């Protein structure tokens, strides 16, 4: 009796071991389809990480997103001079000053400059409202950055925040331009924009502005860039060096 029980038990154990071995051989086998699925998931995860971490580079002013075009398709100095005259209209003094910039920087173009200026304006206005000093550091001169930073610090000390939505820029015009004796170019631009802006206190109450009304805003800003040497001209970033209220 004991012999039969031991034999049956042994046979059951053998059957169980064989079943486990076969099961493991099936579950542990990796097929080409499995490899393909794993690689696809890895690529998807990488794409998600890339999308979640956008470049922190700021917009250069004027912006150069592409490699230089071939020489045969490049805009000639004569073409830019014609653009400047058309751009300045009856303001011959402005045309002369813009041409002075072109003489030192053959890549200068007023239309490209204004496109970059509009982008920079939106970035600066938004960064100031958000208290984003990092973005401001790349777009402002040292003096203007100090002024903006003090205003942000005072706002933070009072526990106030700016709730702002940038609607858009209606118009951007070049008012003045000049090149200093040291080869520093300066261009003054008048921006007419629309914002929804309200300042809130610690409790979230609106103490200035209106969070439900679009406001027309006019700013006059001066941008500057060193174009005195070939090395200096490699830095394409114009910086905000001054602001003034419209008359």
pLDDT tens for 127-165 read: 999 999 999 999 999 999 999 999 999 999 999 999 999
Structural domains counted in the chain: 1
Is residue 62 in some structural domain?
A: no
Is residue 59 in some structural domain?
A: no
**Taking the C-alpha atoms of 194, 241, 231 and 112 in order, what is their torsion angle to the nearest 10 degrees?**
20
More confident residue, 90 or 45: 90
Query: What average pLDDT does range 39-51 have in this prediction?
Result: 45
Length of the chain: 247
pLDDT band of residue 45 (cuts 50, 70, 90) is very low
Nearest to 109 by CA among 70, 73, 83, 74: 83
Is residue 44 in some structural domain?
A: no
Is residue 219 in some structural domain?
A: yes
What's the pTM? 0.70
Query: What average pLDDT does range 207-236 have in this prediction?
Result: 96
R_g over Cα of the chain: 32
Instruction: Give the Cα separation of 205 and 167 in Å (integer).
Output: 22
Q: In angstroms, how far apart are the furthest CA atoms of the chain?
A: 120
Instruction: Give the Cα separation of 207 and 200 in Å (integer).
Output: 6
Is residue 137 in some structural domain?
A: yes
CATH, residue 123:
3.10.450.240
Residues forming beta bridges with residue 69, ordered by sequence position: none
The domain in which residue 107 lies consists of 76-244
Q: What is the pLDDT of residue 77?
A: 84
Is residue 240 in some structural domain?
A: yes
Is residue 95 in some structural domain?
A: yes
Percentage, residues of the chain above pLDDT 70: 69
What is the average pLDDT value for the chain, to the nearest integer? Answer: 80
Is residue 46 in some structural domain?
A: no
More confident residue, 7 or 88: 88
pLDDT tens for 160-188 read: 999 999 999 999 999 999 999 999 999 99
Nearest to 187 by CA among 221, 157, 229, 163: 221
């Amino acid at each position: 009796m004991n012999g039969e029980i031991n034999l049956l038990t042994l046979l059951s154990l053998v059957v169980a071991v064989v079943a486990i071995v076969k099961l493991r051989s099936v579950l542990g086998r990796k097929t080409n389809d499995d490899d393909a699925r794993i690689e696809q998931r890895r690529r998807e995860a990488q794409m998600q990480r890339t999308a979640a971490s956008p470049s922190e580079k700021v917009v250069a002013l004027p912006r150069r997103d592409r490699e230089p075009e071939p020489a045969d398709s490049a805009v000639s100095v004569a073409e830019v001079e014609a653009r400047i005259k058309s751009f300045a209209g009856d303001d011959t003094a402005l045309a002369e000053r813009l041409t002075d910039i072109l003489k030192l920087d053959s890549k200068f173009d007023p239309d490209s400059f204004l496109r970059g200026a509009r982008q920079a304006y939106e970035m600066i206005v938004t960064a100031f409202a958000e208290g984003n000093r990092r973005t401001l550091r790349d777009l402002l001169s040292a003096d203007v950055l100090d002024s903006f930073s003090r205003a942000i610090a005072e706002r933070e000390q009072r526990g106030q925040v700016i709730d702002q939505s940038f609607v858009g820029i209606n118009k951007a015009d070049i008012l003045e331009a000049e090149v200093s004796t040291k080869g520093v170019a300066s261009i003054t631009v008048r921006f007419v924009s629309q914002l929804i802006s309200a300042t809130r206190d610690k409790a979230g109450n609106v103490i200035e502005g209106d969070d439900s009304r679009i406001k027309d805003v006019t700013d006059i800003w001066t941008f500057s860039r060193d174009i005195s040497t070939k090395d200096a001209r490699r830095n394409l970033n114009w910086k905000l060096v001054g602001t003034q209220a419209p008359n």
